[in-house]
Amino acid sequence: MTDRFTMAACLIAGFTQLTFAGEEAIPVESKKKPDPAASIQVDAATLYEQGRNSLFRGKYEDAIKSLKAAVEADEKQTSYQLYLARAYRYAKQPEQSEKLLTEILKLAPDHVEAGQLLAEVYYSREKWKAVTDTLEPLLKYRHDFPTYHMLAEAAYNQDDHENARKYYREAIKLNPDSGPDHYQLGNIYLAENRFALAARSYEKALQLGLDSVVLHYKLASAYFNLRNYFGRISVATVKAGEPGTISGNLAYGG
């Protein structure tokens, strides 16, 4: 009996010793060390997702806190900076948003999203020349209604009616149902004494739901001046090269 216990104890001790010996035989160099850079990237990505979720839920201060930490953890990710700029804008901190977006565009002048967002910040602050300077270089990459609408408004507010007219026309091509753009285009035509085109633009604005005393007055003014120039107004069908186009040499030309 004693011999059996002795043998079992020896076997257990031997097994334990072999196990420990096996562990000790593993070279220290073979154990994989954690990569600090990878850990930072994971933390930055987690913070970014937290910030994005807070932004979508309208918790802008929480979004700023998380996204700012994400940017500090990984400064190379422009998407983190872009969302932080959005959070600043929605939190009514346009100066911070403007500063961040300007830095993005310095590094990547063709970053369309950053340019569009920066133009929106300038637009809300009525910095019209800055809107023009930001968006015009991006026209080679982007053609959409918001871009042309902001450019048109910026040009109009700088009394640049030639470019304003051009940009309003492009905006209307992309969004024919934009009543305000038809109205502003009518204002330009009226200032240029192009009364038929002004009347047409004002009528379209009315059809699209825009309605005010000023709009009715301007429409009446366009028709009144049209009658003074050409006498009694009547509608006639004529043969032309392209429907809706009249020689630009006439006062009401397109």
Q: Residue 249 — very low, low, confident or very high, per pLDDT cuts 50/70/90?
A: very low
CB contact at 8 A, 121 and 89: yes
Residue whose tokens read 């990710």: 77
Confidence of residue 192 (pLDDT cuts 50, 70, 90): very high
- If you search the block for the tokens 């024919």, which residue do you land on? 176
* Nearest CA-CA partner of 112 in 142, 147, 136: 142
pLDDT of 32 > 70? The answer is no
Rounded Cα–Cα distance for residues 127 and 121 (Å): 9
Q: Residue 98: which residues within 8 A CB-CB, separation 6 or more?
A: 118, 121, 122
Q: Which two tokens stand for residue 234?
A: 């009547």
Q: Are 214 and 159 within 8 A, CB to CB?
A: no
Exposure string over 225-246, b if 16+ CB within 10 A, otherwise e: bbeeeeeeeeeeeeeeeeeeee
| 20-37: b (≥16 Cβ within 10 Å) or e | eeeeeeeeeeeeeeeeee
Q: CB-based burial of residue 97 (10 Å sphere; 0-12 exposed, 13-18 middle, 19+ buried)?
A: buried
**Stronger pLDDT, 107 or 241, i.e. the higher one:** 107
Task: Please indicate, yes or no, whether the overall pTM of this predicted structure exceeds 0.85.
Answer: no
Report which of 252, 156, 242 is spatially closest to residue 199, judged by C-alpha positions: 252
Question: Which are the contacts of 244, defined by CB distance < 8 A and separation ≥ 6?
Answer: 254
Q: What is the structure's pLDDT at 11?
A: 41
For 167, residues 6+ apart whose C-beta sits below 8 A from its C-beta are 148, 149, 151, 152, 155
CA–CA dist 190, 203 (Å, integer):
13
Is pLDDT above 80 for 22?
A: no
- At 12, the pLDDT band (50, 70, 90 cuts) reads very low
The DSSP 8-state label assigned to residue 193 in this structure reads: T
Q: Write down the H helix ranges in the chain.
A: 2-24, 36-56, 60-73, 78-90, 94-107, 112-124, 128-135, 145-157, 161-174, 179-191, 195-207, 213-230
What is the per-residue pLDDT across 44-95, written as a single tens digit (0 to 9) for each?
999 999 999 999 999 999 999 999 999 999 988 999 999 999 999 999 999 9
* Crossing angle for the helix pair 112-124 and 128-135, to the nearest 10 degrees: 170
43 contact partners, CB below 8 Å, separation of at least 6: 73
How far is 245 from 3, CA to CA, in rounded Å? 116
d(CA 87, CA 80): 11
